[in-house]
């Protein structure tokens, strides 16, 4: 009888050990699966962030290098102020990619400081966005074409595709703003690295239509990264804006650029304290261009 009890006890212990091993195995498997899933999620987030940053870089010219690397004609000696010069800098605040959910905030700020700016717009066909375009025009800001599709692969597929994009956007804007704009900004700038067509052929076309294109020589950095704080965006502009007689500042009016709208009051105050002239681009504004025509 004692032998039977001992055997039963041994079987019970062995069974418990097997059950415990199974439990431990299950826990380790679940824990491992969770860790692998977390690592995969982190890797995915990192990949998405990198892709987003790359797309933002493309918007600034299709290259991750400094803007200075692609400018070929903007900073000619006749536009650079000498250190002892008392000449006022003419500053043109320009906003690409609008209208957006941030447009009204930007317009409210510009109105509060009595500043006129320039908006290079993309096609937004819903009634709310059309009303924002009408408001930009009614409040006296300059309006130019940025793109109808804003898809580089379409805009720069061929010279005909480029022409179609420009004219489609001009036709879209005309009934909303009351005139056919002659201002233009290349998607990615005229020095972009993603076009399949010779950019100088595009420039020749714009010239033939009496359209003036404007790049920029001062960047806020909001195209390169969404990580800049409002103060950093202001600093990015102020470190370069007083170097030139004509400073065209690149800013963005897009849903993801809320920090730009937040920074705008501080930027305008910093510029006004520096005694610059804040102006909208007109047909008479000296051109700031990364690439000139042939």
For residue 37, the model assigns a pLDDT of: 77
Q: Is the pLDDT of residue 50 over 50?
A: no
For residue 62, the model assigns a pLDDT of: 37
b/e burial code for range 108-122 (CB count within 10 A of at least 16 → b): ebbeeeebbbbbbbb
Rounded mean pLDDT of the chain?
Answer: 87
Mean pLDDT calculated for residue range 215-242 = 95
pTM of the predicted model as reported, rounded to 2 decimal places: 0.77
Q: Is the pLDDT of residue 80 over 60?
A: yes
The first and second tokens of residue 111, run together, are 């109105």
For residue 87, the model assigns a pLDDT of: 87
Mean pLDDT calculated for residue range 11-21 = 74
For residue 76, the model assigns a pLDDT of: 66
In eight-state DSSP terms, residue 68 is G
For residue 139, the model assigns a pLDDT of: 98
In eight-state DSSP terms, residue 2 is H
Q: pLDDT of 127-154, one tens digit each?
A: 999 999 999 999 999 999 999 999 999 9
Q: How far is CA 135 from the centre of its chain?
A: 22
Candidates 180, 57, 162, 171; CA nearest to 123 is: 171
How large a percentage of the chain has pLDDT more than 70?
A: 84
Q: Is the pLDDT of residue 160 over 90?
A: yes
For residue 64, the model assigns a pLDDT of: 32
pLDDT class for 28, splitting at 50, 70, 90?
confident
181 neighbors 145 (Cβ within 8 angstroms): yes
For residue 121, the model assigns a pLDDT of: 98
For residue 69, the model assigns a pLDDT of: 35
Mean pLDDT calculated for residue range 180-207 = 96
Give the catalytic positions in this structure: 96, 252
Lowest mean pLDDT among 68-82, 108-122, 136-150, 266-280: 68-82
Q: Is the pLDDT of residue 7 over 90?
A: no
pLDDT class for 47, splitting at 50, 70, 90?
low
């Amino acid at each position: 009888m004692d032998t039977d009890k001992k055997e039963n006890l041994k079987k019970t212990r062995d069974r418990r050990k097997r059950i415990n091993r199974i439990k431990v195995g299950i826990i380790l498997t679940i824990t491992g699966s969770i860790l692998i899933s977390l690592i995969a999620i982190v890797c995915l987030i990192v990949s998405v962030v990198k892709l987003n940053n790359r797309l933002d870089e493309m918007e600034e010219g299709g290259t991750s290098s400094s803007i200075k690397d692609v400018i070929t004609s903007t900073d000619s000696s006749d536009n650079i102020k000498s250190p002892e010069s008392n000449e006022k800098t003419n500053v043109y605040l320009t906003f690409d990619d609008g209208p957006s959910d941030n447009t009204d905030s930007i317009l409210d700020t510009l109105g509060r400081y009595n500043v006129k700016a320039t908006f290079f717009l993309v096609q937004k066909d819903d009634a709310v966005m059309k009303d924002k375009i009408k408001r930009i025009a009614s409040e006296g800001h300059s309006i130019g074409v940025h793109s109808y599709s804003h898809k580089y692969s379409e805009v720069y597929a061929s010279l005909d595709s480029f022409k179609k994009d420009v004219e489609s956007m001009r036709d879209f804007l005309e009934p909303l703003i009351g005139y056919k704009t002659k201002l233009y900004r290349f998607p990615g700038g005229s020095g972009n690295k993603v076009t399949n067509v010779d950019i100088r052929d595009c420039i020749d076309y714009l010239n033939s239509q009496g359209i003036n294109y404007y790049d920029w020589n001062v960047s806020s950095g909001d195209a390169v990264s969404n990580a800049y704080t409002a103060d950093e965006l202001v600093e990015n502009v102020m470190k370069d804006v007083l170097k030139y007689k004509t400073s065209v500042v690149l800013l963005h009016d897009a849903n993801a650029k809320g920090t730009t709208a937040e920074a705008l009051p501080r930027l305008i105050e910093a510029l006004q304290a520096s005694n610059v002239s804040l102006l909208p681009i007109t047909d008479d504004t000296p051109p700031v261009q990364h690439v000139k025509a042939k």
